[in-house]
Amino acid sequence: MNDPLSEVIALLQPRAVFSKRISGAGRWGVRYSDFGQPSFCAVLSGSCRLAVDGEEAVALAAGDFVLLPATPGFVLSGFEPVTPVHIDPKATAASTGEVRHGTRGGQPDARLLGGYFVFDSPDAALLVSLLPTLVHVRGVERLSVLVRLVGEESSERRSGRELVLTRLVELLLIEALRSSSGEDAPPGLLRGLADARLAQAMRQMHGDPGRPWTMAQLAKKAALSRSAFFDRFTRAVGLPPMEYLLAWRMAIAKDLLRRNDVGIAEVAERVGYGSASTFSTAFSRHVGLPPGRYARGG
């Protein structure tokens, strides 16, 4: 059976770009403006405070891992009141070496490894919308190991570095997201997969997107009535079932068209359309471009 979480991450096409060490001591605080790209942070030692726009502030301790799939603005600081120094991440992303905030010299109150990467998928915004704004994971040893490997690989210029970093970022994403999944997650992919009945229907949609699914068939897979399935799915995932299926099919279609080695008729068949013309109409309505022109532009 297909795993929707792994498929979403594979379709996002994460690519490692940059990581750096950060430390703070005394009275310190920095505000990063909205970045847009996915980022992560691991606390190597000590503790600090993280306040992400629109989310409750959290206290971070050694061993904690944070993932921000879209990185809105946030404040990272010690626990003493302070007016944070503004930092534009797009202007400072290329800096190298450890970045120190607050009191210079001496033992820091917190040391972190922070980094960002890029999603190459043309549907990144759609897929990221299915993920939580803030993922905070505590006490997962596997994540600590992966973070250490990312830090080591980032600081060295060994052959195969970019490929290794890309694979490590994929693993970080999967491990962080599955460690934070649960019924208390915000509406999206993780909350849907945490519901055993909805997960059955979601796996069917991902496993066979070319099948002409109906609401009744999907509700049966979830062992729910049509109305109960519709309401439960919409509340958990944030999209109605058939809208989610359409979005997933179009994400797959975009990926296939970008490769330029699959004809439009075959793409149509793979994503559940009986003819190329029917698919072209649906694709044009959803994307704003006919599939042929999208493929040439991709």
pLDDT at position 165 is: 84
Structure tokens at 256: 């296939």
The CATH T-level fold of domain 189-297 is Arc Repressor Mutant, subunit A (1.10.10)
Residue 9 has pLDDT above 80, yes or no: yes
Residue 96 has pLDDT above 70, yes or no: no
Residue 169 has pLDDT above 90, yes or no: no
pLDDT at position 240 is: 96
The mean per-residue pLDDT over the stretch 46-51 comes to 97
* Cα distance between residue 140 and residue 209, in whole Å: 34
Question: 164-201 burial, b for 16+ CB within 10 Å, e for fewer?
Answer: bbbebbbbbbbbbbebbbeeebebbbbbbbebebbbbb
* Pair 43, 63: CB distance under 8 Å: yes
Residue 179 has pLDDT above 90, yes or no: no
The mean per-residue pLDDT over the stretch 132-146 comes to 88
* Pair 27, 78: CB distance under 8 Å: yes
Q: How confident is the model at residue 74 (pLDDT cuts 50, 70, 90)?
A: very high
Cα dihedral 190, 194, 200, 206, rounded to 10, equals 10
* Cα distance between residue 6 and residue 188, in whole Å: 15
pLDDT at position 298 is: 56
CATH number of 4-180: 2.60.120.280
The mean per-residue pLDDT over the stretch 176-193 comes to 81
Provide the residue ranges of all domains of the chain, joining segments of one domain with +.
4-180, 189-297
pTM score: 0.80
Q: Which residue has the higher pLDDT, 261 or 76?
A: 76
pLDDT at position 10 is: 84
CA-CA distances (angstroms) from residue 213 to 111, 162, 200, 208, 276? 50, 40, 14, 9, 18
The mean per-residue pLDDT over the stretch 142-161 comes to 83
* Cα distance between residue 21 and residue 166, in whole Å: 19
